[in-house]
Amino acid sequence: MWVALRGYPLKLGEKVKITAKTDTYVSTPWGAAITIAAGEEMEVGDDLGYECIQAGCTEIKDVTPEPKPEPEPEPKPKKAALKKKEADS
């Protein structure tokens, strides 16, 4: 299930990496609480991560470059086309 929070599409049930510019304390209505030191990266569950984002933390996205596909080799000319070129010359 996907959710959009402040324009960020997030998938439920995943881990979220977060960080904060200042020391931040985040608590939830169900009793969970977390303190994030300034500049510290933390990996939390998505539910607590959404609460942290709402409290002013930022999500760290893992950006791994996709490998470039190797170019396909040019196809060899067919024998009939080669014979036609030779005949025209």
Per the prediction, the chain carries an average pLDDT of 81
Global pTM reads 0.56
| Residues comprising the chain, all counted | 89
Residue 85 included in any domain: no
pLDDT at 50 over 80: yes
Q: Is there a domain that residue 79 lies in?
A: no
Domain membership flag for residue 17: yes
72 within a domain of the structure (yes/no)? no
Task: Report if residue 73 sits inside a domain.
Answer: no
**Which residues span the domain enclosing 37?**
2-64
How many folded domains does the chain comprise? 1
Q: In what order do the strands lie in the sheet with 58-60?
A: 42-45, 15-19, 58-60
Q: Per the domain annotation, does 32 fall within a domain?
A: yes
Per-residue model confidence (pLDDT) at position 69: 83
